[in-house]
Each structure stands twice: as C-alpha cells, then as structure tokens.
Amino acid sequence: MFGHDLADVYELVYRARGKDWDTEATDIARLIRDQLPAADSLLDVACGTGAHLETFAGLFAHTEGLELSSAMLARAAVRLPELPLHQGDMRAFDVGRAFDAVVCLFTAIGYLPTLPDLRAAVATMARHLNPGGVLVVEPWWFPDRFLDGYVAGDLASDEHRTVARMSHSTRQDRTTRMEVRFLVGEAGGIREFTEIDLLTLFTEEEYLAAFADAGCPAEYIRSEWTARGLFVARRR
C-alpha cells in the first residue's frame, strides 16, 4: 500500500473526489486552539504527501511530520524541504521532542490491524504531547456505520493525464478489505495498478478507552468535512 504508483496520483484523485486539505487543516487548527489557545507546535502523524502539513506550517510556529511510506514521504520532502520529516511507524516512534498538538488524519489510524496496535499508537502520540496538549484523530468507520459491498468510482484529470479510480469494500470480520483499481492514461500510454487496503473497524468505545488509558481523555465530535467524525483529546 502507498507505493510510488499511488503517491504519483494520490492528490489528483482525492482532490477530484472533493477533498480539501487546506480547509481541513484550518478547521483542525481552530479545534486545537479552542482547547489550547497558545498552541504553537504541531506534529502531523501519517502526514502523507504533506498536503495538510503545508497549511499547518503557516498556522503554527513549529511543525514536523511523520510518515511510514517512503514514497509518500518523498513527496512531502519536495513540498516542504525546510520542515523536519521523519519516517516511522505510529505505534512506536520518538522524534525527540513534545508538541502542543499531535494530529493523525484521513483515517490513517484505521490501517492498524489490532486493538493493541491502536492502543500503542495512541499512547505513543500522547507521549509526544506537552501537558495540556491536544490530540486530534480522524478514525475509520465504526462497525455499525460501515457499508458492506460499497462501490465507488471517480475520474480525475490534469494537463498531463487522466486517472480512473474504482473501489470495492467488503467486511471480513473486524476488517474492511478495500480493493482499489487505478487506470492512468498518459502520453506514453495507459497503465494500471491495484491497491488492497485493509482497515480495522474499531468501535467508538475502543477508541475512547485507548485515549483515556493514554492519559488523554477524548470526545467524539461530528465535522462538516468528514462523515467519519473526529476524536479530540487533551493530555492531562
């Protein structure tokens, strides 16, 4: 998952689907400062290509990013060469400092396969918060809200290529198996690749317990830009 083929078309496809990283990051910054008005440092966990981080960098005095995928991180490094960017696993990382805010967005936490993994990731993110710091996490779907057999199709174009994306999602016990096929048409021809995404259907209660046990009690809130909602937590 999240190799060079996907990194190459990632933002083009999701912008065509309506994703607005700038608006989302601006709203997250507002949520953080509602909790901690003086917040001026932020770590973006699973920062991807740096699309959120680019906006955060203009809103906080100090920002850093963490990403597991080398292909996605390379895109972020080109976009934000002046920022500290780290390659690492959200379950066990140490960037050497604490922040007023830590965020983990676009359902990245759903890629963790087990409940112990979820709890480890939340605890690791919490350890990177200053006392009173704010943790914001966008979850994957809860089990009772997942649509088994869901199909989506999208077409995106820019001046160099056209990309077709089709996905089919099925439930396998506690896991979403999402098969995503891409067709990329360019001057040199048409190429195809497939991504198989496995995301865990954690419950709201499991998320809340993980936050509480990490010393960051959380609330689950609705948001205008994500139907999956957000967890907003504060370190004691």
Question: Domain spans of the chain?
Answer: 4-142+201-234, 145-200
pLDDT over threshold 90, residue 1 = no
Q: 169 falls in which pLDDT band (50, 70, 90)?
A: very high
State mean pLDDT over 197-222.
Answer: 98
If residue 193 lies in a helix (H) or strand (E), which one and from where to where?
Answer: strand 189-200
Pick from 169, 196, 168, 165: which is nearest to 183 by CA?
165
pLDDT the model gives residue 72: 98
Task: Provide the token pair at 166.
Answer: 């089709």
Superfamily for the 145-200 domain: CAC2371-like domains (2.20.130.10)
Query: What is the percent of the chain where pLDDT is above 90?
Result: 100
State mean pLDDT over 95-117.
Answer: 98
- Between vectors from CA 106 to CA 204 and to CA 142, what angle results, nearest 5°? 25
Residues near 48 by beta carbon (within 8 Å), at least 6 away in sequence:
10, 67, 69, 72, 75, 76, 106, 108
Cα distances (angstroms) measured from residue 12 to each of 63, 104, 212: 24, 21, 37
Fold of domain 4-142+201-234: Rossmann fold (3.40.50)
pLDDT the model gives residue 152: 97
Q: What would the DSSP string read from start to end of 101-134?
A: EEEE-TTGGGG--SHHHHHHHHHHHHHTEEEEEE
State mean pLDDT over 201-207.
Answer: 98
Average pLDDT of the chain, as a whole number: 98
pLDDT over threshold 90, residue 209 = yes
Task: Give the span between the Cα atoms of 2 and 9, in whole angstroms.
Answer: 11
Stated pTM of the model: 0.97
pLDDT the model gives residue 134: 98
pLDDT per position as a tens digit, 33-78:
999 999 999 999 999 999 999 999 999 999 999 999 999 999 999 9
pLDDT the model gives residue 180: 98
Task: Provide the token pair at 160.
Answer: 């160099």
Would you say 182 and 9 are in contact if contact means Cβ atoms under 8 Å apart?
A: yes
Number of C-beta neighbours around residue 73 at 10 A: 23
State mean pLDDT over 170-188.
Answer: 97
